[in-house]
Amino acid sequence: DQQVKQNSPSLSVQEGRISILNCDYTNSMFDYFLWYKKYPAEGPTFLISISSIKDKNEDGRFTVFLNKSAKHLSLHIVPSQPGDSAVYFCAASLYQGGKLIFGQGTELSVKP
């Protein structure tokens, strides 16, 4: 099931700079997209989401952008902090209450 893809397995960023994590999807019927952060041996933690009818959603240092024509979404973290170092997953859902389909994850490392 390759409907959601994160093509970069890792990303390294300097503290204070912008982190940009990318995600592509193939199913144009996805209704909602979400980003999760995961530390080793813990469950995914919900970060931010966006409805398919929007193109941007912002929450503090986190902004998610959705480009439906390109079937692409991205998560921007500004400014990046060492505590942001974790694996980030994008996920998509077809309908409310439906399953989440996850990407493979991108490991973000923010260096002091």
Partner 1 sequence: EPEVTQTPSHQVTQMGQEVILRCVPISNHLYFYWYRQILGQKVEFLVSFYNNEISEKSEIFDDQFSVERPDGSNFTLKIRSTKLEDSAMYFCASSGSGQGKYYEQYFGPGTRLTVT
Find the binding residues for partner 1 in span 40-59 (CB under 8 A): 41-46, 49, 51
Ranges of H-type helices in the chain: none
Considering beta carbons, is residue 32 or 65 the nearer one to partner 1? 32
Torsion region of 3: left, alpha or beta (phi above 0 gives left; psi -120 to 50 gives alpha): alpha
Should residue 9 be labelled a site residue for partner 1 when binding is judged by CB under 8 A? no
Shortest distance (Å) from residue 89 CB to partner 1: 7
What 3-state DSSP class applies to 52? coil
Hey, which residues does 56 pair with through a beta bridge?
65
Binding site for partner 1 (CB under 8 A): 1, 31-32, 34, 36, 41-46, 49, 51, 89, 91, 93, 96-105
